[in-house]
Amino acid sequence: MAVLFKKIKNLEAQIDNYLDMVVKGGFLFKQGIKYFLEEQTEEFESRLINIDTTESDADNLRRKIERRLYTETLIPESRGDVLGLLEACDKVLNKTAETLHQFSVELPFILPEVKNYYLELTDISVSALEEMVAAVRSYFTDIIHVRDHINKVQLYESESDKIAEKIKRIVFRSNIHLSQKMHMRYFALHIESIADEAEDVCDRLSIAAVKRFI
Amino acid sequence: MIWFFLLSGIFLGWSLGANDTANIFGTAVGTRMIRFRTAAIVTAIFVVLGAVISGEGATHTLGKLGAVNAIAGSFTVALAAAVTVAWMTKLKLPVSTSQAIVGAIIGWNFFTGSPTDINTLVKIVTTWVICPLLAAAFAFVIYKFTMAVLPRSRVHLLQQDSYNRVGLLLVGAFGAYSLGANNIANVMGVFVPANPFTDLSFSTLFTLSGTQQLFLLGAIAIGVGVFTYSYRVMITVGNDLFKLTPVAALVVVLSESLVLFMFASKGLEQLLASYGLPTIPLVPVSSSQAVIGAIIGIVLAKGGRGINMKVLGKVSSGWITTPVIAAVISFIGLYFAQNVFEQKVVEPINETRIEIQYQNIQIDTLKNSIIDEFDLKEDIKIKNSTKMIP
C-alpha cells in the first residue's frame, strides 16, 4: 500500500512539474516579446533558446506521465480527460514557442504607436495561459474552484480580442505598406491565439470537471 | 451416496459464486480498478468466513419455512433451485437464488404435505421488497454525503483514485463476507436438517460444528465459482450494465453489502434486541436486487432522471415468477425422485420435532461458545497457576 501511495506522490509531482513548465513557457514568451519590441536581440534570442528547451522537456515529461497513467492503469475513468488536458496544454506551450520563433525568423516591423498594445496583448494572453494552468491544477485538487479560473480565462480571452482589434484598427489606418500592415495583423493574431488556445483547454476542462461528478 | 446428494448444493454454490460475486467486484474489475486475481482471492476468503461464522441466521429462517429432512429431498430442492436459476438466466429473465430456493422449499412443502409457515413466508417476501428499497435509501444518503464532502476535501485526483481502490477492496471484502453470511442459506440451508456431518474438534483450538462444515463446503463451491467463471460476468457487469464512476461504484457496493449484512447478522439482531428495538429478520436476499436498488438510489440522488421503469417492473416480476417456477420444478422433481428413483424425500416427523431439530442446532452453537469460553478460562487459570510456581 505504501508503495502505491509513494508512486502516486511521484506522479503528482511530475504533473505539477509539467504545469510549471507551461507557466515558465508563458513567462519566457512574455520576456521574449518585450525584448523583441525593445530591440534587445541577444536577450530575445536567449529567451528563444530557453523556451525551446522548456518545450522539449515538457514534451518528454508529458509522454512519461501519459505512459505511467496507462501502464499503471491509474484513474481509469478520468484518464482520457487528463491526457486530453495535458495534450491541450502542450498545444498552448507549443504556440508560445512557435510565435517567438516566427518573430525571430520574420523580424516583423512594428509601428511604434502599437508597441504598447503588443505588450498589453502579450500580458493578457500570458495571463490567460497562467489562469488556464491554475484551472488545470484546480481540476486535480480543488474541483469546486475550477469554474472561477475558467471564468477568468474567458475574461482574458475576450480582452485579448479587444486589444488585437485595437492594434488592427491602428495599423490599417496608418500610412505604411500593405504587406507591413498584413504582417502586423498576422503577429497580433498569433499572440492573441495563445489566449484562444487557453480558452479551448478550459472548454475541455469544464466538461471534464462536470464528468467527474456524474 | 451422501456426497452425490450434496452435489446439487455444490452446483448451486458454484453458480452463486460465478454470478452473484460479480455484484461485489464487477465494477472494480470491469473498470480495471482492481485486478481479477486480487478480487477473486479476497472474495473466496471472505465468502468462506462469512458463511462459516455468520451463515446460520438466514438458514434458520429458511428452515422455519420448510425443514427438508431427507437428504434426497434436499438434493431435489437444491437442484430445482439451481435449474430455475440456470434456465431463467438463459432466458435473460431476472432471477435470484434466494427466491428460487424459497420457491423450491414451498414446492417440497406442497409435495410432502408439510405446512408452510405463513408468517415466515410473509416475513421473507416483505424482506425481498424491502431489500432494494433499503439499498436505494443507503445509496442515496451515502452518495449525497460523499458528493458533499469529496469536492471540498482538496485531495488530489490521483490520491482519490488510490483511496478508492483501497475502499473498493475493503468494501468488497465486507460485501463478500455479507454475501457468504446471507446467501449460504440458499446453497446449503436445505441440507441442514439432513446434515451428514458431525462436529469436528481441532484439539483445544476450536470446534467446527456439522452445520459449519456444511457451510464451509458450500462456501468452497462459491469460491470455485468465483475463480472459474466469474471473470466474464464481472467484465459484463463492469462494462456493459452499469457505467458508474468509481466513487458511485464504491457507494453501490457499500450499500449492497450493508443490506446483505443487516439481513444476515445475528450480532446486529442481538444488539437491537438488547436495546428493545425491533429486530431485522435474518432472511436470504438477492444481491442483484440490492445492487439495482442501490443504483436507483444514486440516480435519485442525482435528480431522478433516467430511471428505467421496465427494469423495475422486471425486478418486481421476479419476486413472483422465480419462486413459482422453482416450486413447480421442485414438485415435479420430487415426484420423480420418490416414484421413479425410489428415494425417500421426506422423513415422517411432526412439526414439533422439526422445531426441536432447529432448537438442537441452536443449542449446539451455544454449547460450542460455552465450551470455548470455558477453555479460555481454563487457559487463564493454568497461566496464573504457572506464574505462582517459583
pLDDT class for B377, splitting at 50, 70, 90?
Answer: low
pLDDT class for B385, splitting at 50, 70, 90?
Answer: low
Residue B131 CB-density burial (10 A; 0-12 exposed, 13-18 middle, 19+ buried):
buried
Residues from B contacting A (CB-CB < 8 Å) are 31-33, 147, 151-152, 154-159, 161-162, 165-166, 245-246, 302
Average pLDDT over residues B169-194: 89
Q: Which residue's entry shows cell 466469474?
A: B230
Three cell numbers written together for B351: 412439526
Nearest CA in chain B to A212: B245
CA distance B184 to B206: 21
Three cell numbers written together for B216: 464451509
Q: Does A4 touch chain B (CB under 8 A)?
A: yes
Task: Report CB contact under 8 Å: A141, B33.
Answer: no
pLDDT class for A199, splitting at 50, 70, 90?
Answer: very high
- pLDDT the model gives residue B16: 86
- pLDDT the model gives residue A189: 95
* pLDDT tens readout for residues B94-116: 678 888 999 999 999 999 988 88
Alpha-carbon distances of B315 from A3, B99, B312, B321, rounded to whole Å: 43, 12, 5, 10
* pLDDT tens readout for residues A55-111: 999 999 999 999 999 888 888 888 899 999 999 999 999 999 999 999 999 999 999
CA distance B186 to B10: 11
Question: Per mean pLDDT, which range of A25-34, A123-132, B48-57 is the poorest?
Answer: B48-57
Average pLDDT over residues A43-66: 95
Among A141, A144, A214, the residue with its CB nearest the CB of B156 is A141
Among B156, B159, B245, the residue with its CB nearest the CB of A214 is B245
Among B147, B151, B246, the residue with its CB nearest the CB of A77 is B246
- pLDDT the model gives residue B350: 56
Chain A nearest-CA distance from B308, in A, is: 17
- Residue B236, pLDDT > 90, answer no
**A200 vs B312, residue with greater confidence:** A200
What does the domain layout of chain A look like in residue ranges? 2-212
CA dihedral A36, A39, A45, A48 (to 10 degrees): -10
- pLDDT the model gives residue B23: 82
ipTM > 0.90 (yes/no): no
Task: Report CB contact under 8 Å: B162, A142.
Answer: no
Strand ranges inside chain B, DSSP E:
200-202, 206-208
- Residue B71, pLDDT > 70, answer yes
- pLDDT the model gives residue B371: 62
Identify all chain A residues contacting B299, using CB atoms and an 8 Å cutoff.
none
Task: Report CB contact under 8 Å: A75, B152.
Answer: no
**B230 vs A161, residue with greater confidence:** A161
- pLDDT the model gives residue B185: 87
Task: Report CB contact under 8 Å: B156, A74.
Answer: no
* pLDDT tens readout for residues B186-196: 888 888 887 87
Contacts of B121 (CB under 8 A, 6+ apart): B65, B102, B106
- What is the percent of chain A where pLDDT is above 90? 87
Among A76, A140, A213, the residue with its CB nearest the CB of B156 is A140
Q: Evaluate whether the domain defined by A2-212 bears CATH number 3.40.50.620.
A: no
Query: Residue by residue, what is the 3-state secondary structure of chain A?
Result: CHHHHHHHHHHHHHHHHHHHHHHHHHHHHHHHHHHHHCCCHHHHHHHHHHHHHHHHHHHHHHHHHHHHHHHCCCCCCCHHHHHHHHHHHHHHHHHHHHHHHHHHHHCCCCCHHHHHHHHHHHHHHHHHHHHHHHHHHHHHHCHHHHHHHHHHHHHHHHHHHHHHHHHHHHHHCCCCCHHHHHHHHHHHHHHHHHHHHHHHHHHHHHHHHHHHCC
Task: Report CB contact under 8 Å: A73, B32.
Answer: yes
Task: Report CB contact under 8 Å: B155, A142.
Answer: no
- pLDDT the model gives residue B33: 83
Contact status, residue B123 vs residue B61, Cβ threshold 8 Å: yes
What does the domain layout of chain B look like in residue ranges? 2-348
Average pLDDT over residues A146-168: 96
Longest CA–CA separation in chain B, Å: 78
Query: Which amino acid is present at A26?
Result: G
- pLDDT the model gives residue B389: 46
Task: Report CB contact under 8 Å: A8, B158.
Answer: yes
Task: Report CB contact under 8 Å: B154, A141.
Answer: yes
CA distance B214 to B196: 8
Task: Please measure the distance between the N-terminal and C-terminal CA atoms of chain A and give it in whole angstroms.
Answer: 28
Task: Report CB contact under 8 Å: B158, A5.
Answer: no
CA distance B323 to B329: 10
b/e map A54-66, b = 16+ CB within 10 Å: bbeebeebbeebe
CA B272 to chain centre: 21
The CA-CA-CA angle for residues B7, B8, B11, to 5°, reads: 85
What DSSP string runs through B2-46?
HHHHHHHHHHHHHHHHHHTTHHHHHHHHHTTSS-HHHHHHHHHHH
Three cell numbers written together for B276: 428493545
- What is the percent of chain B where pLDDT is above 90? 27
Contact status, residue B81 vs residue B326, Cβ threshold 8 Å: yes
CA distance A107 to A184: 11
